[in-house]
Amino acid sequence: MKSDTLIIGYGNADRQDDGAGWHILKTLAEHVGYEIPHDPGEFIEIESSTVDLLFILQIYPELAETISHYKRVCFVDAHTADIPDAISWIELTPEYEKSPLTHHMSPKTVLSISATIYGHVPEAVLVSVRGYSFQFHRELSPQTAALTKVATEKIWGWINH
């Protein structure tokens, strides 16, 4: 059974703290009784009556069609010291954002595409966790691991609100 809430984790799980979204989705999957692969970075797509989960490497335009079917969407990623809060929680509105990188798209831009093409914008938030180390490892740094636990519980509360 499909939920009305989608959590999208994204990032490179092979680059240590950039995989925070994958680790958060793994814990959320366990909350709803699913076991996901133990290999960080594998594609995850889980539909449940409580919450649907999707892990991807990066945001892409076709995601607009996916999110158009949901009432609520939460994007989960890691961030660097450019954002002052260790855990950032931002309510999103559709807005086209230009990027100098051809392979980068923001959650706001994919919301804008959803609004334009599908006529629907779900309630959306972006939760990002401070990353401290982006080496070629699959384990989170101790600081980011602690933050992902807190962020996961905040997201779980949002899911059940």
Q: What is the pLDDT of residues 128-155, one digit of tens each?
A: 999 999 999 999 999 999 999 999 999 9
What CATH number is given for 5-159 in this structure?
A: 3.40.50.1450
- CB-CB contact of 13 with 40 (8 Å): yes
Q: What is the pLDDT of residues 62-119, one digit of tens each?
A: 999 999 999 999 999 999 888 889 999 999 999 887 765 555 789 999 999 999 999 9
Q: Model's pTM, two decimal places? A: 0.92
- Of 52, 74, 58, nearest to 18 by C-alpha is 58
